[in-house]
Structure 1
Amino acid sequence: MEKIAFLGLGRMGLPMARRLASGGYSLTVWNRTPGRVPEPVEGLVEVADPAAAVRGAGVVVTMLADPAALAAVARQISAELAPGTVWVDMSSVGPAAVAEVRDRLPDGVGLVDAPVLGSVGPAGTGGLTVLVGGGPEDVERVRPVLERLGRVVDCGGPGAGAALKLVAIGAIVGGVAVVGEALALAGSLGLPEELAEGVLAAGPLGGLVARARAVDADFPVRLAAKDLALAGGGPVLGAVRERLLAHPELAEQDLARWVDAVRAGG
């Protein structure tokens, strides 16, 4: 198993890195805020510099917050990537940001976009859905790494995984917002919450109701708003984003807590 550099140890990145290490991979890891690996973990070596992390790595994985963070890391590591290295960006940044990174790469370095669907729990157990775009040879090179993290969905050529992530997250966040508004409407009409929720859960909105009521997910409201901004889109998703931003006190809380606020009349 070749060496992996894993950059970005946030809510999702740290359990994903641990998952790879538990599968026998050797990882050099970096995070903008150091000390994210609080105790020794077999297979993980934390370093203070992203450029140092990628030296000698055959596969580089990034799991970063937004396009600005990805661009900043790209400026620091691109010159250190050796021919034959494949960079796997698993961040939710959209196809335009992925294309900008690709334009920075030295000759002989591949790039695969592989954002994920799923939350912190599945990140640590290999239960993510990995949306993969890239050249066939690059994708096949990193497929064993990605399969360790979850179910791989082949989306097409470069940028296709990043694009599908925006489509999927727009539908999920928008749908969760609709469920929140529907439950708020039920309350305003004097209907028992359990009755309305049960009827919605038994129909085609069942998965969205479960997400709206989740207690173990960790997808902050600010990241949901960021993803909707990247998606652009029409008036519905734009309105949902404005509603998310209307609750700055919930910025670091999971999306389900925003639904709680909406149901309570916020």
Structure 2
Amino acid sequence: MKLAFCGLGLMGEPMALRLLSAGHTVNVWNRTPGKAQALIALGAQWCDTPAQAASDVDGVFMCLLNTSAVEQVVFGPEGIVHARHLRWLVDHSSVPPEQTRAWSQRLHLACQADWLDAPVSGGVMGVQTATLAVMVGGHISSLESASQAMSAYASNITHMGDSGAGQATKLCNQTIVASTVAAIAEAVGLAHRNGIDLNQLAKALQGGWADSKPLQVFVPRMVTPSQASIGALSTMLKDVDTVMQVAQSSGAPMPVMATVQQQLRAAQAAGLGEAELSALICLVWPEQRSAF
């Protein structure tokens, strides 16, 4: 397929790389052109604007930081909406469901293209191993085409319903992940203060009811922080803030997430916003602060 990819950040760059490796032709655009150099060296086609990247392709993918970035890239003066023959757009960003629904209608009215909200779970490792989970809202007919490309980095692609349903599902995902990581941090802090060998903790719990992918990934990174981030704490706080906003508007009680939100805010106020999410350990094990 001939595709476009806009947004070459922590997740976007390896996604575009997987599309190239699968044999697709990929136009790329990024706000900072330097981040595209490695992909260009592997055959990606650089484009000066999102509209140029998205013109005359089978479909467009984007993975951007927040709502303002998405709106600018799609609807700005040189945005995707101005592309020639735009068919469908897959948004892997995490943004509020209501905003997604409004953008979907706006895009369709402007150029009859379909908007698929398709947030992901699994992190960079999931992209690299082609095991991402993708939760999708929008027209299933466009998803049938887009999923042929997404299979380059995803093994679980699920149509969740109409526009916005994918983003709402991602909020459920983030509810579970954020509260789990907060609980893991407290468990690591408890283990530290009781003389447990922290390097054995994840192994000891493996296979039991406390086991999970976050447990196996985050315990080692809380004990010995890695320079290679798998996601900033501030990004999770953004998603948790959206969870709480949607919960309030829909009348869903979320007492656990309200506490987790305050923990994330405390960590950000302590200067850990750009640190990896595993830095949440510093709230219960302050001595680890210097490692992050």
TM-score after normalising by structure 2: 0.82
Larger helix percent:
2
**Contact 2:174 2:239 (C-alpha < 8 Å) held by counterparts:** yes
Give the AA of the match of 1:91: S
Q: Unmatched 5+ residue regions in structure 1?
A: none
Deviations 1:63-83 (A, max 9, x none): 001112111212122542445
**Partner residue in 2 for 1:212:** 218
**Contact 1:176 1:212 (C-alpha < 8 Å) held by counterparts:** yes
CA drift of 1:96 comes to: 1.7
CA drift of 1:228 comes to: 0.4
**Contact 1:218 1:253 (C-alpha < 8 Å) held by counterparts:** no
**Partner residue in 2 for 1:42:** 42
**Does the C-alpha gap of structure 1 residues 186 and 27 become closer, same or farther in structure 2, counting only changes over 3 Å?**
same
Output the CA distance in 2 between the equivalents of 1:196 and 1:120: 24
Q: Unmatched 5+ residue regions in structure 2?
A: 222-227, 248-253
Output the CA distance in 1 between the equivalents of 2:220 and 2:92: 23
**Partner residue in 2 for 1:240:** 260
Aligned equivalent of 1:174, options 175, 179, 184: 179
Which region of structure 1 is more displaced relative to structure 2, 153-162 or 212-221?
A: 212-221
**Does the C-alpha gap of structure 1 residues 168 and 75 become closer, same or farther in structure 2, counting only changes over 3 Å?**
same
The answer on 1:221 being equivalent to 2:233 is yes
**Does the C-alpha gap of structure 1 residues 137 and 202 become closer, same or farther in structure 2, counting only changes over 3 Å?**
closer
Q: Give the SS at the match of 1:183.
A: helix
**Contact 2:120 2:170 (C-alpha < 8 Å) held by counterparts:** yes
Q: Give the SS at the match of 2:182.
A: helix
Output the CA distance in 1 between the equivalents of 2:145 and 2:255: 40
Output the CA distance in 2 between the equivalents of 1:133 and 1:116: 12
Q: Compute the RMSD of aligned alpha carbons.
A: 2.2
Q: Give the SS at the match of 1:218.
A: coil
**Partner residue in 1 for 2:12:** 13
CA drift of 1:113 comes to: 1.2
The answer on 1:256 being equivalent to 2:256 is no
User: How many residues align structurally?
Assistant: 263
The answer on 1:103 being equivalent to 2:105 is yes
**Does the C-alpha gap of structure 1 residues 240 and 156 become closer, same or farther in structure 2, counting only changes over 3 Å?**
same
The share of aligned pairs that are identical, in percent, is 29
Which region of structure 1 is more displaced relative to structure 2, 197-206 or 154-163?
A: 197-206
**Contact 2:16 2:26 (C-alpha < 8 Å) held by counterparts:** yes
Which region of structure 1 is more displaced relative to structure 2, 203-212 or 168-177?
A: 203-212
1:71-220 matches, within 5 Å, as 71-76=71-76, 77-83=79-85, 85-105=87-107, 106-151=110-155, 152-188=157-193, 190-194=194-198, 200-207=205-212, 208-215=214-221, 218-220=230-232
Output the CA distance in 1 between the equivalents of 2:188 and 2:217: 14
Q: Give the SS at the match of 1:29.
A: strand
Output the CA distance in 2 between the equivalents of 1:196 and 1:147: 35
Give the AA of the match of 2:280: W
Give the AA of the match of 1:31: N
